[in-house]
Structure 1
């Protein structure tokens, strides 16, 4: 854990030194915002991995019909089914475990921050966190009475800690659930909502929130802030990707098509064009009629009429 202590403490101390110029360095707000800064920096660094996760998740959805065909064909032979399924994954560049990678990579950082904050409460320094900074970090309080190193199970009857910890545990649990639900409800085609992959997604949908809810009672306030902020970032990032680059055949793809059609209709209305654009066949007929229509000849006029003009 020592390398992680150094990485996390360098980022925390860096943000704290900047925030300490405008906020009380010993106050909880400076340290809390430093944790938020750490979270955002980590999530920015994980963007390439998130893109890979989205791509792999989309491939998993799109190949589900082929996976079902393999199951029907080789359902009696588990070994052959596993071989053919892995060959399909390799052919399509799909990693069935990619959806777990961001969480797995964040867990060591999560644990390092947990221990860093937990031991700072006992004035134990790690990394570049000096004894003085460790004491500040461990004793920093929000609103003058909520130590960010306190946990729900070690609140010592502090109602401020109990209320804030409960709020953050619920927020962490809800955002974990909604992030997974957002993916299943908006970016999974109908034929991908059954089968092994769908069962895995449904299991994660309910298991992960329960795990975080149970474990959250032992997490310090600062760690709860970290994980909740990370979840909110994931929801926003996932919303952007699903909205602008949805998987084909999903509700998100249909919603995007409707938005594009509505936008095109508004554009035609501003130009005074018909609400519904003519089809290629209708355009061809209109052009043919325009070419074959007889030209209107000007009326003959007498010499006196021409002089009047």
Structure 2
């Protein structure tokens, strides 16, 4: 059974299709043929605006984890040979402080359905039984439903398509590099307040991963994963990713000033 033909999902996609078409029609007098691309940018900004309270919660969670780093290090030293007791004490500490080691993951999870909907809207030829009008829209002459990897595989890549995707992918990579430089150093400095105690593998696994140089390098590479994904998804979804990572960087800069991480002693 086609997942997209399942009635609830089909109805959701049909509503999202109508919303984007309606926004594109409203924006057409302002931006012309790029109206659908502008509608995607507008929807992305609206989604991120709705998630501002979640971003604030994430910033508070990061600040709380950094504040608890010295206490976590003390627990590691005290229960280095008792991994089960260490887990219990750490969970109790997070509970007493009103935070969680997984706090702040909601923004990524909350956006996943939106990315999935935009992806589906630009790969389906028909939605809820009617033709997908969004596939007729373009950005700088490049169909919003096309992907860089797909056009390379099909041998239909044109110079214009390559330039448009290159601009989007490079922009995402530059935002990722800026994020890495700005926040990687801050995270590493905060992690120094809670060095990993290498007396047991269990203790190391529950400590601050940023205290490990190898983990820091991996974390830096993760900033470029979005740029790689943008090569394989439709141009419309790549635009969504570009606006999202740019918004995220700006929001993190503002919220980090409002909820700064404690400096290591």
TM range (shorter): 0.7 to 0.9
- SS of residue matched to 1:95: coil
Could you say what the CA RMSD is over the residues aligned between the two structures, in angstroms?
2.6
**Contact preservation (8 Å) 2:69, 2:193:** yes
Aligned to 2:6: none
Query: Where does residue 8 of structure 1 map in the other structure?
Result: 16
Structure 1 residue aligned with 2:164: 164
Give 1:20 deviation, angstroms: 2.7
The answer to whether 1:243 aligns with 2:257 is yes
Distance 1:61 1:7 in 2: 42
Q: Which has the higher contact order (CA 8 A, sep 6+)?
A: 2
Choose from 43, 57, 80 the match for 2:48. Answer: 43
Q: Per-residue deviation at 1:43?
A: 0.2
Residues of 1 paired with 2:31 and 2:175: CA distance?
29
2:179–2:223 CA contact under 8 A, matched in 1: no
- Match of 2:5? none
- Once residues 128 and 174 of structure 2 are traced to their aligned partners in structure 1, the CA distance between those partners, rounded to angstroms, is 32
**What SS does structure 2 have at the residue aligned with 1:82?**
helix
Q: Contact conserved, 1:177 with 1:208, CA < 8 A, in 2?
A: no
After superposition, the C-alpha distances for 1:102-151 in whole angstroms (9 at most, x for unaligned) are 112211211221111121xx3x1259xx63xx32x2121223x3112111
CA offsets 1:202-228 (integer angstroms, 9 cap, x no match): 366234334324332211111111111
Instruction: Tell me the matched-pair count.
Output: 238
Q: Distance in 2 between matches of 1:170 and 1:232?
A: 12
Select the structure of larger CA radius of gyration: 1
1:149 aligned residue (145, 152, 155): 145
Distance 1:178 1:126 in 2: 41
Q: What displacement does 1:51 show?
A: 0.7
With structure 2 as the length reference, what TM-score do the two structures score? Answer: 0.79
Q: Give unpaired runs (5+ residues) of structure 2.
A: 1-8, 197-206
Match of 2:243 in 1: 229
Contact 2:172 2:226 in 1 (8 A): yes
Q: Distance in 1 between matches of 2:41 and 2:194?
A: 35
What is the TM-score of this pair, normalised by structure 1?
0.69
SS at the partner of 1:118?
coil
